[in-house]
Amino acid sequence: MRVLVVGAGFAGAIYSRVLAENGFHVSVIDRRSHIAGNCYDFLDLSGVRVHKYGPHLFHTNNQEVFDWLSRFTQWVEYEHRVQAKLPSGAFTPLPINRLTINSVFDLKLSDEAEVIEFLRKESEPYKTERPGNAADYLNGNIGKLLTDLFFRPYTKKMWNLNLEELSSSVVRRIPIRYDCEDRYFPSDKIQVLPENGYTALFENIFQHDNIEIKLGLPFEKDFENDFSYVFNSMAIDEYFGFSFGALPYRSIKFHLCDASDSGSSTASVVNYTDSGAYTRETHWYRLPGNVAVSRVKSVEEPCDYRDNNFERYYPVKTADDRYQALYKQYKQEADKRENINFIGRCGTYQYLDMDQVVNQSLLGVRRFISSVR
């Protein structure tokens, strides 16, 4: 059976490899000139590895996902830490922990019980039983001052939404810590980076006699005629000609620059809490495996995807879930088609971490193979 896979990111790569290993002949196309989707990385002129589409930190508790990927790469351990740069110029740990609170309020809270009691006094009662919007959720958990300092300007520039308009699910992903834990993903037992980068990992996944790849080739409907089945990771609304309306995405412009004047922070990633145009900076030379011969960093400027060459990064989740309702209309159309399945972040209009997209893809492709045998 000949199968077309649209998109050479994680979703497309997993489908391709498992299909190929099961005797299917797979053609992969991607409109970009490189494989690896948004995980694509490269060495800059000084030899520092840069992730072209923003820092990608692999973290998971899913051993099966990790074992599957480990067939194609060695790993290096890396525990990610982030700092926030306050409008005053001071740096604090992020997500908010006890040190952050002590620093912002000039306190000396010494244990978890004191922090919990402090935040209880700071916070306001929820306006609804289970808050659907980010403002209500945050005010109810950390109070107005911390909400307005760490989340309000950041949300506006990242999402172009007020906290009242943003789904609480977006900020629920960011825990509040009562202790001094400052790792970004403390509950994930696996925290690593691929030893030779993501692009090399993808090269190994795609290395199979039953897989052919064509890059720089955007999908066209006519292509479907040559294949028995299509797995498609392009934006689902674009596939259907935006017939129900466009699904919005936020995008990011990355500005690569010299990091020599970055102040006293030692974190790989620094988030800006101010109301300027930029959200964060990544110091690539601080990631493992890099010799700090050059101090290159990238600074992120969020924007609408239409202002960045239709580069779709983050599906927008509003408190009223209106875009999830719009997505469901496209999904219903897709379900009527017998020979196509939409996969990955833009095919299913959801933010997925790498381990989640690998897991979903492994489950999906195995289901497909057993259904056609």
Ligand X SMILES: Cc1cc2nc3c(=O)[nH]c(=O)nc-3n(C[C@H](O)[C@H](O)[C@H](O)COP(=O)(O)OP(=O)(O)OC[C@H]3O[C@@H](n4cnc5c(N)ncnc54)[C@H](O)[C@@H]3O)c2cc1C
Spell out, one character per residue from 24 to 43, where the chain touches ligand X: x when CB under 6 A holds, - when not.
Answer: -----xxxx----xxx----
Under rule CB under 6 A, residue 267 binds ligand X = no
Spell out, one character per residue from 177 to 216, where the chain touches ligand X: x when CB under 6 A holds, - when not.
Answer: ----------------------------------------
Under rule CB under 6 A, residue 354 binds ligand X = yes
Stretch that binds ligand X, among 91-99, 164-172, 334-342, 351-359 (CB under 6 A): 351-359
CB 216 within 8 A of CB 87: no
- Phi-psi label, residue 37: left if phi above 0, alpha if psi -120 to 50, beta otherwise: left
Interface pick for ligand X out of 10, 24, 118, 178 (rule CB under 6 A): 10
3-state SS class at 83 = strand
Sole residue written with tokens 């830490």 = 81
CA distances from 214 to 5, 28, 41, 227, 269 (A): 11, 6, 19, 15, 34
**Closer Cβ to ligand X, 102 or 359, answer by number:** 359
**C-alpha–C-alpha distance, residues 370 and 373, integer Å:** 5
Phi/psi at 186 (5° precision): -65, -20
**C-alpha–C-alpha distance, residues 228 and 208, integer Å:** 20
DSSP one-letter string for 131-169? --BHHHHHHHHTHHHHIIIIIHHHHHHHHSS-TTTBBHH
Min dist. Cβ of residue 42 to ligand X (A): 15
Under rule CB under 6 A, residue 269 binds ligand X = no
Under rule CB under 6 A, residue 18 binds ligand X = no
Output the six-digit token pair for 124.
């306001």
Under rule CB under 6 A, residue 230 binds ligand X = no
Under rule CB under 6 A, residue 268 binds ligand X = no
CB 199 within 8 A of CB 8: no
**Closer Cβ to ligand X, 136 or 188, answer by number:** 188
Min dist. Cβ of residue 54 to ligand X (A): 3
How many other CB atoms are there within 10 angstroms of residue 137's CB atom? 26
**Closer Cβ to ligand X, 157 or 345, answer by number:** 345
Min dist. Cβ of residue 254 to ligand X (A): 9
CB 315 within 8 A of CB 345: yes
Min dist. Cβ of residue 275 to ligand X (A): 21
Output the six-digit token pair for 352.
């997925």
**Closer Cβ to ligand X, 31 or 81, answer by number:** 31
DSSP one-letter string for 243-268? TT-PPPEEEEEEEEEE-TT-TT---S
Stretch that binds ligand X, among 51-59, 118-126, 167-175, 275-283 (CB under 6 A): 51-59
Burial of 108 (0-12, 13-18, 19+ CB in 10 A): exposed
How many residues bind to ligand X according to rule CB under 6 A?
Answer: 32
Min dist. Cβ of residue 217 to ligand X (A): 7
Under rule CB under 6 A, residue 360 binds ligand X = no
Under rule CB under 6 A, residue 100 binds ligand X = no
Under rule CB under 6 A, residue 233 binds ligand X = yes
**Closer Cβ to ligand X, 237 or 355, answer by number:** 355
Min dist. Cβ of residue 320 to ligand X (A): 24
Interface positions, 301-330, toward ligand X (CB under 6 A): 313
**C-alpha–C-alpha distance, residues 163 and 157, integer Å:** 11
- Chain contacts with ligand X (rule: CB under 6 A): 6-12, 29-32, 37-39, 53-57, 218-219, 233-234, 252, 313, 344-345, 352-355, 357
